[in-house]
Structure 1
Amino acid sequence: MMSFYLDYYPGYRDKETMKVIRHESLGIYIYANPRNKREQNFNEVMTEKAEAIRCRRFESVVNERYDFFDKYKLKADFLEYYRKQLRKHDQKWEFVYLHFSNFVHGKCTFEEIDIDLCNKFREYLLSAKKLRRNGRITRNSASGYWSTFRGFLKILYRNGMIKTNVNDFLEKIETEDVMKEALSVEELYKLAETPCKKPILKTASLFSCMTSLRISDILSLCWEDIVDYSAGGKCVHIITQKNKAEDIIPISEEALGLIGYNSEKKGFVFKGLMRSWTQIPMKEWIRSAGITKNITFHSYRRTFATLQAAAGTDIRTIQSIMAHKSITTTQRYIKVVDANKREASKKITLTRQD
């Protein structure tokens, strides 16, 4: 048997793998020495198919080189392409992909990606059910998912995968203000004094309150990430899991004592900690401490910001520690303490002050 190959000269770069392609096997085989009419007919049919593929490949290369839109891209599997991009991004991308896959019932080509379809997906998100739990996703979650999807559309247009910059014609989903819980100083004391069935969960939670680390960074934190700080003492020096941004967080001696820091230790700081423990085990621990607020692990990060602000720490310093690109983000985290509100209310008076 003989097989068909395509030779490219001088070769072209595959934008998906970034490799220079010079040879391509078509996976088509013919008889080297056909012995009868049937084998001759088989060779003719396979040769025609190989020629059709050669013409299609040539057209694609020309379209790529001279900026014509390749019509064969339109027929490609959009969901398959989307799925391959997930490994480059955070978990939110996976959630958006799963919601979109549910929306289109598992089938979608690039040709179908237009303004109408995208707007229908927007409507879907506003009433979509949660993927892993009961109930519907919040409007703010829908807004975040929609923003991520629109960002993906921008990438597709920039990479020549779709003809129209669909994103320019799509309206964003406005977020809504919601009550976001944080622990008070007294509640933090209670939590520190209350035993937890998962001791490492308690340690990680309190450490997050003292450093503002997200659960993703807590899970990936290694002893080697705790290094000398330029201003003295120790700090956590990491690349955050969410934003892939450098973050340097000074650590107090109390926080170091909490985790049992030792410069000789290696590996994960919170070895054995499971993300799933932040659900039922953590909520049981919080209730046993007499705290009735709806506290999530992310609430510890908000607790850090709130208590730092209440203690008089400058908002720019808080922004730097929390690695926020915008101070507006930091402001959303900070809950003004009631006592501060009370003091503020006394500053405007109709009575002359001597």
Structure 2
Amino acid sequence: MKIHLRRKKLKSGKISLYLEYYKGRTKTPDGKNKILRDFEYLDLYLTPNPETPAQKKKNSENLELAEQIFTIRKAELIQGKYNIQNDRKGKVGFLEFYEEMKEERYQSKGNYDNWDAAQKHIEAYSPNHITLNDVDVKFIKGFKKYLDTVAVTKSQKKLSQNTKHTYFNKFKACLNAAFEEGYLKENYIKKVKGFSMGESKREYLTADELQRLASTTCSLPLLKRAFLFSALTGIRWSDVNKMKWSEVRDEGMDSENTPIFRIVFQQKKTDGVEYLYISKQAREFLGERRAKDDRVFKGLRYSAHMNMQLLRWCMHAGINKHITFHSARHTNAVLLLENGADIYTVSKRLGHREIRTTAIYAKIIDKKMKEAANLIPKLDLKMD
């Protein structure tokens, strides 16, 4: 962060003195760069072209006072940068600071919801009077123990390993921010190891199962088209559900007379813009083009009834797995890797931010390779 002493001419003719805090840049939802600034107005003014001794004196005094405030604010910034705790900042309530950090993430719904869910447990653990001055290793270890031994879900069940991992990471991000902004004299969170990420089971369909499903009638044809489209493309339910015709690009033919189709969309989960090539068959599942603002899968909605029909469709196809709509995305990843796609390409197609997320599917493929080693019937040998 950078601080500047600025001047602004007002309609009255006077010049207002204020501080500008430059906090870097961010991306707006439409992809444009936005400069992040805060302002501190000092209620100090200068008279332009002073004529009387009194005006000149007042200008000099106000400018000197503004310079002193400017120096103090720069010193506060340096205190944070060089681990010198600012006493004023240290008196800020921990829960109050967490609330501010959470609200900064309001534009990212999934992340905001996780911060909000973690906050309920942080508030249950931390007394209201705790300030950032009170935060230390003991306090942090106490919260970790609380998540591990005390915290429960709404249904009074212990938190899963991944939930503990997520909630502690939000707690950790808050304290990292407090240190970076000079509210903590030491980054205590680095001294406490967090929860490791648990490996959840990813249910998917084999190529044979997907073919059987495609050949089986579904009571909801719209669901069938949407699910098979997701299995062929890897697109999440949230992005399939909101997809509009303006995002579907029919781009003609390539040099070998093969039709080119792409989906250009903004991922709901990550806000990242994706440019995804899709196959001719995947395009056929979308049907005839309609108005650009129309939803492609108009009438599709998430409900218990739809989930039940998906399971019934699977049972009619002879598939006894607990398949959800998200299983289509898992299926796409596994089939791509099984058929020779490299992990980097699969990661890009799925819109993963980190390759380690995609690596979980590679472990599934490795397991299948091990299983294949035992598929050959045992030989009945008679040794000479």
User: What is the TM-score normalised by the length of structure 1?
Assistant: 0.71
User: Residues of 1 paired with 2:76 and 2:213: CA distance?
Assistant: 61
Report whether the alignment pairs 1:64 with 2:62. no
* Cα RMSD for the two superposed structures: 3.9
Residue deviations 1:86-138 (CA, integer Å, cap 9, x gap): 3143424422332333332384643444332322222333353335x663432
Aligned residues: 310
Q: Which residue is equivalent to 1:13? A: 20
Q: Which residue is equivalent to 1:242? A: 269
Aligned pair partner of 1:321 in 335, 349, 354: 349
Is the alpha carbon distance of 1:103 and 1:304 closer, same or farther for their aligned partners in structure 2, counting shifts above 3 Å? same
Aligned pair partner of 1:94 in 113, 116, 128: 113
Q: Which residue is equivalent to 2:307? A: 282
Q: Which residue is equivalent to 1:203? A: 225
Alignment of 1:322-337 (within 5 A): 322-334=350-362, 335-336=364-365
Deviation for aligned residue 1:220: 3.8
In structure 1, list runs of 5 or more residues that go unmatched: 1-6, 25-56
Report whether the alignment pairs 1:143 with 2:185. no
User: Residues of 2 paired with 1:113 and 1:136: CA distance?
Assistant: 26
CA contact 1:92–1:145 (8 Å) conserved in 2: no
User: Residues of 1 paired with 2:159 and 2:287: CA distance?
Assistant: 39
Is the alpha carbon distance of 1:341 and 1:302 closer, same or farther for their aligned partners in structure 2, counting shifts above 3 Å? same
Residue deviations 1:298-319 (CA, integer Å, cap 9, x gap): 3221110112223333333323
Q: Which residue is equivalent to 2:152? A: 129
Match for 1:203: what amino acid?
A: R
Match for 1:296: what amino acid?
A: T
User: Residues of 1 paired with 2:116 and 2:134: CA distance?
Assistant: 16
User: What is the TM-score normalised by the length of structure 2?
Assistant: 0.66
Aligned pair partner of 2:138 in 104, 111, 116: 116
Q: Which residue is equivalent to 1:39? A: none
- DSSP 3-state at the match of 2:104: helix
Report whether the alignment pairs 1:265 with 2:292. yes
Aligned pair partner of 1:165 in 187, 204, 222: 187
Residue deviations 1:186-207 (CA, integer Å, cap 9, x gap): 432444434245x544433222
- DSSP 3-state at the match of 1:140: helix
- DSSP 3-state at the match of 1:296: coil
User: Residues of 1 paired with 2:121 and 2:272: CA distance?
Assistant: 32
Deviation for aligned residue 1:343: 4.3
Residue deviations 1:20-52 (CA, integer Å, cap 9, x gap): 23256xxxxxxxxxxxxxxxxxxxxxxxxxxxx
Match for 1:289: what amino acid?
A: C
User: Residues of 1 paired with 2:162 and 2:344: CA distance?
Assistant: 26
Deviation for aligned residue 1:282: 1.2
Is the alpha carbon distance of 1:202 and 1:15 closer, same or farther for their aligned partners in structure 2, counting shifts above 3 Å? farther
User: Residues of 2 paired with 1:118 and 1:74: CA distance?
Assistant: 16
- DSSP 3-state at the match of 1:87: coil
Runs of 4+ in structure 1 off by over 6 angstroms are 57-60
Q: Which residue is equivalent to 1:51? A: none
- DSSP 3-state at the match of 1:259: coil
Is the alpha carbon distance of 1:235 and 1:99 closer, same or farther for their aligned partners in structure 2, counting shifts above 3 Å? same
Aligned pair partner of 2:90 in 74, 99, 108: 74
Match for 1:110: what amino acid?
A: L
Deviation for aligned residue 1:71: 2.8
Report whether the alignment pairs 1:253 with 2:280. yes
In structure 2, list runs of 5 or more residues that go unmatched: 1-13, 24-35, 44-68
- DSSP 3-state at the match of 2:17: strand
Residue deviations 1:188-246 (CA, integer Å, cap 9, x gap): 2444434245x544433222211111233224433222225696511112333333434
Query: Identity rate of aligned residues, in percent?
Result: 24
- DSSP 3-state at the match of 2:100: helix
Residue deviations 1:282-304 (CA, integer Å, cap 9, x gap): 14421343143233333221110
CA contact 2:17–2:42 (8 Å) conserved in 1: no
